[in-house]
Structure 1
Amino acid sequence: MPKLFNHRIYVVIIAIVIILAISFLVRHYTSTREIHAYVGPLDIEVGVPVSFADSTTGADHWLWEFGNGDTSPEQRAQYIFSETGKYQIRLTVNGELEKRFIVNVRPTKKDDDLQLIKIIAPQSALQGEFIIFRGEGTSKEWRWEFGETGKVDAHEKTAIYQYNEPGSYEIALRTEETKYPIIHTIEIIPQYMDNDSTDVATIIGNDIKEKLQAIVDQKPFNTNYNYVMSTYLCNNPNTLVIINNSKKNDFYSYCQGLKIIGRKRTIIEKVLIDIEESQSCINKLIVIQTDIN
């Protein structure tokens, strides 16, 4: 009888040890599933370093991706962005856990103060064509008069306008930083005139339009999304998308939205692209779309 009693005690002790060991392993495994990392400051001027560090339990491999093609395998260090813009920093720990941070890189105040307001727009366009007008410089207010309606037509830094009648128009841009309006002249060519030239921007816009419509139509999301990302956006998911000249999203969120609203009926009417002269990647998409409930 005593031997049987002792045997039972041993069994109970062993069971308790096993339960405690399993509990410890579960807690340890669970604790390593959450990334403990820091990136800051998240709003900086060009040339100011961003500090990044990770203290995730059990981590022994790090990959920091800075949203512009640069990477770092360091656990903690600093990084300096050389150009303005919004960047998504992605940290991958041990090859499987991910965490993302958004950093806004602003121009230096000195550069802002010296930068003149300019109009970036074509010298000519077709009647009925959607035209991008981009203000260059820093101002809180933007007032565009495109010369056709006799009134202020837009209040965004980047505006889209479509001329109904051909002719020569004087565009006036007023801001709080300028004493007199900035003037730009554009020639609107009648639709019936021969114009066989198809520029590269139009070809790219039509290609992106096709891929966005494919996402709406519930075709393979990754195939179409990754094509646009790698072909035109330099794999930057934060590329700005302006929808119908009013709403804004980053490219990734916009495409996810198209995937969801695909259950309704959305028509991608036109895609316009915006590329800075000093860059080779598209930094802005302007999408004209119609949503049918």
Structure 2
Amino acid sequence: MAETTTSGKSVSSNSQGYIFLYIFIAIIILAALIFLFKSSVFDKRTIDARILRNELSLNEDLVFTDNTRNAKKWIWEFGNGAKATSQNGTYRYLKSGSYIVRLTVDGELKEQFPVTVRDTVAAAIDTLVTISGPTSGVVDEEVRLEADGKASQFDWSFGETNRVDVKGRTALYTYHAPGKYLVKLTTDKSHRPIFHTIFITDPNAELETDMVVPGEGERKVIDDIRARLQAIANGADFNSNYYYLVRKYLCNNEKVTVNVEQDSAKKATDFYSYCMGLTFGGEIVVDEAQLTISPSSTCATLVNIKQHSAKTVKK
């Protein structure tokens, strides 16, 4: 009887041991499931980016930075066709207005920031150096600027390439596209950069502003406009193509209405916004562009565009 009782107690102890083991294993599994669920639901990676200021003057830098966890790839789009692929940096606008800065991290995380650029130039202070030279010039002709003051290092950025273009007290530079540029001079003696605004025009383009009236080369006009818009959509230089169209066909009115028909959808916008949209609107093919011209002038009052997405098969 004693042996039987001892054996019964042994079996009971073993059963309790297995129960505790099963409970322990169940707790481990449950903890692992909770961790995985928390990681997938609550610890999803979010974008961590910012810009230093959202209101700027024309000669002030937009400072941008991203601290997204484990980020590998960045695409900053500045709302005017310009892009950057660095994690942090600066960018300067050449035209006042309202822009939307868009950031895409690793091709999936997205954030956007509204930016307003004022048509004013912040005064450069605390500097012993000034810039002397012309405030206007023409395309493909050399511009000469001089730095006046005591310094030993002079770095000139002429605003067309977004980099240092010339070093030295005297700077010679040739612009290749018309527009309004902000020249930046940085020296070893100035606390802040010194700025100089210069307007570049294209006399040859201005001589070609005679409109071709409907019925006399209308196809030439249509093909010319379509080709310029397609160049913008394909990533070609924005300023040269945009200002060519504005001067030649719109009498410098960037707010001319544009009716756009794309993939059976229609919308109306202004010419500047439409062209800006081409720079970040995806793969666009411009099929046709026509103008409505004011009877009393050679200026277009309406632009009609037909286009389609390159990803859509046209029938």
- What TM-score do you get using the length of structure 1 for normalisation? 0.42
**TM-score of the aligned structures, taking structure 2 as reference length:** 0.39
The structure whose Rg is larger is 2
